[in-house]
Chains A and B, each alone.
Chain A
Amino acid sequence: DGGITQSPKYLFRKEGQNVTLSCEQNLNHDAMYWYRQDPGQGLRLIYYSQIVNDFQKGDIAEGYSVSREKKESFPLTVTSAQKNPTAFYLCASRVRDRGGNEQFFGPGTRLTVL
């Protein structure tokens, strides 16, 4: 079955530690995205990548880093510089075209900083 997987589903981290969230897709999509969701709020874009070895900052990139070494994978690292990292993180992907086709989302990772 094609889809997007994110692991782990729940993640706990001590303050001051970096942590990496995994996102893998087998949909053959070129573009991938990372969003952050806080309670009662919509999703906000952290980073996105249109092709391998290329990525751009979204609206709230500070304290985060990404890599895109393979088409299928787009890991997100939450660094110790991120002041409020506790949130729900969602990864998405889409076929890259000039239109506005939809993004497909993974199940998300809930990160809690202790």
Chain B
Amino acid sequence: AQKVTQAQTEISVVEKEDVTLDCVYETRDTTYYLFWYKQPPSGELVFLIRRNSFDEQNEISGRYSWNFQKSTSSFNFTITASQVVDSAVYFCALSRGGATNKLIFGTGTLLAVQP
């Protein structure tokens, strides 16, 4: 069975602090895909990144970075120098890919960035 665990329910930081959101996944598949989505207060999910199981390279996009480690089944997300606009719920998700590409979501982490 596939499962995604985001153990951090809520995180509160002060602006300009760095923050890491944890994501641990379970799957028996050798081919799979991992995603991060951001859900601001408006409700719409915004796609941030996708990573497939064969690509363990870390990725940096501006203030965002992602660390994928198959050895620990983790796909953690770090925001450097956080800003108030980063306040949102962040979801990690897992899929087998393929024609249906059903997503299995974690329960999300609410990040509050205080000014």
In contact, A43 and B50 (Cβ under 8 angstroms): no
Contacts of A56 in B (CB 8 A): 100
In contact, A102 and B35 (Cβ under 8 angstroms): yes
Q: B-side binding surface: helix, strand, loop or mixed?
A: loop
In contact, B102 and A100 (Cβ under 8 angstroms): no
Instruction: Give the interface size class of chain B.
Output: 20 to 34
Nearest-Cβ distance from residue B37 to partner chain A, whole angstroms: 8
Instruction: Give the interface size class of chain A.
Output: 20 to 34
In contact, A101 and B45 (Cβ under 8 angstroms): no
B99 on the interface (CB 8 Å rule)? Answer: yes
B residues neighboring A (CB under 8 Å): 4, 9, 32-33, 35, 37, 42-47, 50, 52, 91, 93, 95-103, 105-108
A residues neighboring B (CB under 8 Å): 31, 33, 40-45, 48, 50, 56, 58, 88, 90, 92, 94, 96-108, 110
